[in-house]
Amino acid sequence: MRPSDAAVSGSRRRRAPRDSRVQDRSAWWQTAVFYEIATISFQDSDGDGKGDLAGLLSRLDYLEWLGIGAVWLTPIYPSPMLDLGYDISDFCDVHPEFGTLEQFDSLLEELHRRDVRLILDFVPNHTSDQHAWFTESRASCRNPKRDWYLWADPRPDGGSPNNWQSRFGGSAWQWDEQSGQYYYHSFLREQPDLNWRNAEVRTAMADVLRFWMRRGVDGFRVDASAVLAKDLLLRDNPPDPQAGESKPPPQRFRNIFTDDRPEAMAYLAEMREVIDEFENCVLCGEVQGKTDRIGHFYGHDKPRLHLPLNFVLLDSAWDAISLQGNIDAYLNAIPNKAWPDWVTGGHDKHRVASKLGPEQMRVLAMLVLTLRGTPFFYAGDELGMERVPIATDRITDPFEKLLPGYELNRDPERTAGKNGGFSEADPWLPMGPGIEKRNVETLKDDERSLLWLFKRLIALRRKEPALAVGAYIPVRSQNDVLSFKRADGDVAFLVALNLVHEPRRLAWDGEGTLLISSHLDDYHPALLRGPILLRPDEGLIIKLGR
Ligand code: NOJ
Ligand code: MG
């Protein structure tokens, strides 16, 4: 047992779990609602305009009030911060701008005391070029850590070893004058890729996982898990005939020799073995996004990730027919016993409220909190935060700096919210228009707000096992209404979501009790008998039967 287990489970035992019936039958990560926080944008405590751990610690009442079950923190480690901290110079410490390891321990303890779990971002694919391992590796071709990174000789004409492109633009190979070879970087040139074929690298990274699990963290989100292994022969990626000029140059190739290689699957299985050395820890991961590949990331004989992150809802067209098709395609693509998950936002994705608008954002909240599978949302989504326009001189995202003009900028979704005052100082990215209304303090006072809708739905999901872990029973969607049932034993619910800004009729011949309308008012009678008239943009959850 890890040292902190006693403390952690001790504090959990003192508290009667609010949803004990569900918890008895499932793992915590199946029922918890996950909440992604980019520390830098959450709450500043020291007036430098950047969020930090002490700031986050001061806002835990809010997380508890909202009812979330697990926090995922984007990287908090020492870093030159060229890529939101995904360029890590020390995997086993905290960036001084965010705080200290002691503050991290206090944060973890306070979260656990409130029954909230914590997972960290684990970035196995690359380090910062400032990491001590890379300093050693680049020192000379004979350095014992040379093979920890991917080094290759130039082609006979002196050019880079092959045509592989960095995601952020340009060749993925960087010439190193001093040692006379190229090194490979999937992302920035300041983010050299580790060589996962090297067993010492795998052992060192396993020890990073153990370091944090011994401190008590409840698991990880694995960054870029699909690109861990690259072709040994360094073969060129073929051009993608379907990708036209409108795509950024790195996306005009079929990355078959750099992405989603079979070897990467073995490395994920190894990571999972390390996770399983500790009790109750979860491994989530950023995976190859195609639905037909997502099942493989769960593993077959040997388990890999518990929760390969699924972005189907974000990528889907927003209409009943597309959604029911995409939801079913995903559910059918994952292995029988695999547990689904649904991501509705993140630090790399356009804010979903900007795509859907405020009315349908409420429908999305009801959808993601009633589907079968673990919901992941991104801090600020519960406030309806939208993309914030960023003036050219304020751009920080390397994606936009290196590949301008392709709408790749991720700064608009990385701005701070306003938890009753994010910071005394100017925030590191500008806050968006509407922040006076779109903040926790204001929305908490309005019991019909989106924030309250999230809170009420999370509470309902915690109370009703059928909504958390029950079966998903599709109902034929009709007339712009997406509907499905959730059932557990003899308890069943009908969820009906009107996907358009006009009233819609739902032909339904059942009866039941209305538990909640996404409009959060008393418009409908408590007892409903089909057919039902849904108001524009309205979602309903009905408990079936008498
Ligand atoms: C995936 C992360 O989500 C993204 O933000 C980052 O830029 C890349 N990995 C590179 O680390
Ligand atoms: Mg700060």
With respect to residue 30, please indicate whether it lies within any of the assigned structural domains.
yes
Q: With cut-offs at 50, 70 and 90, classify the pLDDT of residue 32.
A: very high
How far is ligand 2, taken at its centre, from the CA of residue 427, in Å? 9
With respect to residue 210, please indicate whether it lies within any of the assigned structural domains.
yes
- Pairwise CA distance, residues 415 & 101, whole Å: 25
Structural domain span for residue 539: 472-544
Among residues 345, 341, 364, the alpha carbon closest in space to that of 410 is found at: 345
Q: What is the pLDDT of residue 23?
A: 59
With respect to residue 506, please indicate whether it lies within any of the assigned structural domains.
yes
Query: pLDDT for 136-177, tens place per residue?
Result: 999 999 999 999 999 999 999 999 999 999 999 999 999 999
Among residues 111, 128, 38, the alpha carbon closest in space to that of 74 is found at: 38
Query: pLDDT for 251-306, tens place per residue?
Result: 999 999 999 999 999 999 999 999 999 999 999 999 987 898 999 999 988 999 99
**Residue 249 pLDDT greater than 90, yes or no:** yes
Residue of the CA atom closest to atom 2 of ligand 1: 223
Range scoring the smallest mean pLDDT among 28-37, 110-119, 412-421: 412-421
Q: What is the DSSP letter of 46?
A: S
SS3 63: helix
Whether 223 is catalytic is yes
Output the six-digit token pair for 146.
């040379």
Average pLDDT over residues 332-346: 96
Average pLDDT over residues 390-406: 92
Among residues 399, 393, 385, the alpha carbon closest in space to that of 351 is found at: 385
**Nearest ligand to the CA atom of 167:** 1
Same domain, 391 and 496: no
Same domain, 89 and 142: no
How far is ligand 1, taken at its centre, from the CA of residue 5, in Å? 31
Same domain, 281 and 428: yes
Q: Which of 83, 220, 401 to mutate to test the pocket of ligand 1 (most atoms within 8 A of CB)?
A: 83
**Residue 6 pLDDT greater than 60, yes or no:** no
With respect to residue 467, please indicate whether it lies within any of the assigned structural domains.
no
Active-site pick, 102, 153, 263, 277: 277
Using a 6 Å CB cutoff, which residues line ligand 1? 83-84, 86, 187, 223-224, 286, 347-348
Q: What is the pLDDT of residue 334?
A: 96
Residue of the CA atom closest to atom 4 of ligand 1: 348
Burial of 266 (0-12, 13-18, 19+ CB in 10 A): middle
Same domain, 446 and 359: yes
Q: Which of 88, 191, 348 to mutate to test the pocket of ligand 1 (most atoms within 8 A of CB)?
A: 348
Among residues 398, 507, 484, the alpha carbon closest in space to that of 84 is found at: 398
- Pairwise CA distance, residues 346 & 117, whole Å: 18
Q: With cut-offs at 50, 70 and 90, classify the pLDDT of residue 244.
A: confident
DSSP letter string over 446-465? -TTSHHHHHHHHHHHHHH-H
Place of tokens 């959990």: 12
Q: What is the pLDDT of residue 433?
A: 82
With respect to residue 194, please indicate whether it lies within any of the assigned structural domains.
no
Region of 299 please: left (phi>0), alpha (psi -120 to 50) or beta.
left
Query: Comparing 321 with 435, which gets the higher pLDDT?
Result: 321
Share of the chain above pLDDT 70, in %: 95
How far is ligand 1, taken at its centre, from the CA of residue 185, in Å? 12
Query: Comparing 38 with 300, which gets the higher pLDDT?
Result: 38
Same domain, 362 and 504: no
Q: What is the pLDDT of residue 417?
A: 74
Same domain, 273 and 353: yes
Q: With cut-offs at 50, 70 and 90, classify the pLDDT of residue 386.
A: very high
**Residue 11 pLDDT greater than 60, yes or no:** no
CATH of the domain at 180: 3.90.400.10
How far is ligand 2, taken at its centre, from the CA of residue 130, in Å? 23
Q: Which of 39, 86, 127, 288 to mutate to test the pocket of ligand 1 (most atoms within 8 A of CB)?
A: 86
Q: What is the pLDDT of residue 25?
A: 78
Q: What is the DSSP letter of 61?
A: H
Average pLDDT over residues 187-207: 98
Same domain, 426 and 480: no
Q: Counting atoms of ligand 1 from 1, which one is nearest the CA of 187?
A: 10
- What mean pLDDT, rounded, does the chain reach? 93
Q: What is the pLDDT of residue 14?
A: 31
**Residue 19 pLDDT greater than 70, yes or no:** no
Q: What is the pLDDT of residue 438?
A: 86
Active-site pick, 223, 386, 411, 480: 223
Query: pLDDT for 84-108, tens place per residue?
Result: 999 999 999 999 999 999 999 999 9
CATH of the domain at 220: 3.20.20.80
Domain boundary among 404, 424, 459: 459
**Nearest ligand to the CA atom of 347:** 1
Q: With cut-offs at 50, 70 and 90, classify the pLDDT of residue 542.
A: very high
With respect to residue 233, please indicate whether it lies within any of the assigned structural domains.
yes
Range scoring the smallest mean pLDDT among 15-24, 367-376, 399-408, 473-482: 15-24
Q: What is the pLDDT of residue 424?
A: 86
Phi/psi of residue 83, nearest 5 degrees: -145, 60
Indicate the number of domains in the chain: 3
Same domain, 418 and 494: no
Q: What is the pLDDT of residue 12?
A: 31
How far is ligand 2, taken at its centre, from the CA of residue 52, in Å? 5
CB 2 within 8 A of CB 214: yes
Average pLDDT over residues 195-210: 98
**Residue 420 pLDDT greater than 70, yes or no:** no
CATH of the domain at 488: 2.60.40.1180
How far is ligand 2, taken at its centre, from the CA of residue 415, in Å? 14
Q: What is the pLDDT of residue 435?
A: 84
- Pairwise CA distance, residues 138 & 131, whole Å: 11
Same domain, 236 and 337: yes
Share of the chain above pLDDT 90, in %: 88
Output the six-digit token pair for 72.
């995922």
pTM confidence score: 0.95
**Nearest ligand to the CA atom of 87:** 1
With respect to residue 465, please indicate whether it lies within any of the assigned structural domains.
no
With respect to residue 324, please indicate whether it lies within any of the assigned structural domains.
yes
Same domain, 324 and 262: yes
Same domain, 148 and 81: no
Residue of the CA atom closest to atom 6 of ligand 1: 86
C-alpha dihedral (417, 421, 427, 433), degrees to nearest 10:
50
Same domain, 98 and 245: yes
Cα–Cα separations (whole angstroms), residue 471 to 467, 489, 490, 528 = 8, 9, 11, 23
